[in-house]
Amino acid sequence: MKVMVSAIIPVVPSRDVAESLRFYQAYLGFTEPFSWGENPVEYGGLGQDGLRLHFYHEPNTQIGQNYAVRRQVDEA
């Protein structure tokens, strides 16, 4: 039986998950935020136009190292 993939969700390290969620909402128009954990938020995500993006808390991550997230749009 063939398994149908319904979504691929990038999970990106973040030094501050709550701040990452705020940034993606305020500047990139993402909606439907959720988060787990407090002080610090350990995991969270949001979406836009069918795209989902998740973050996990990693205080020692080097920003932009060993991962990338690319968002393609029809018009700019």
pLDDT, tens digit, for every residue of 37-72?
999 999 999 999 888 999 999 998 887 776 766 766
Phi, psi of 23 (to 5 degrees): -60, -50
50 forms bridges with which residues in the sheet? Answer: none
CA distance 56 to 45: 9
pTM, entire model: 0.81
Residue 6: per-residue pLDDT: 81
Are 11 and 54 in contact by the 8 Å Cβ rule? The answer is yes
| Fold entry, domain 1-76 | 2,3-Dihydroxybiphenyl 1,2-Dioxygenase; domain 1 (3.10.180)
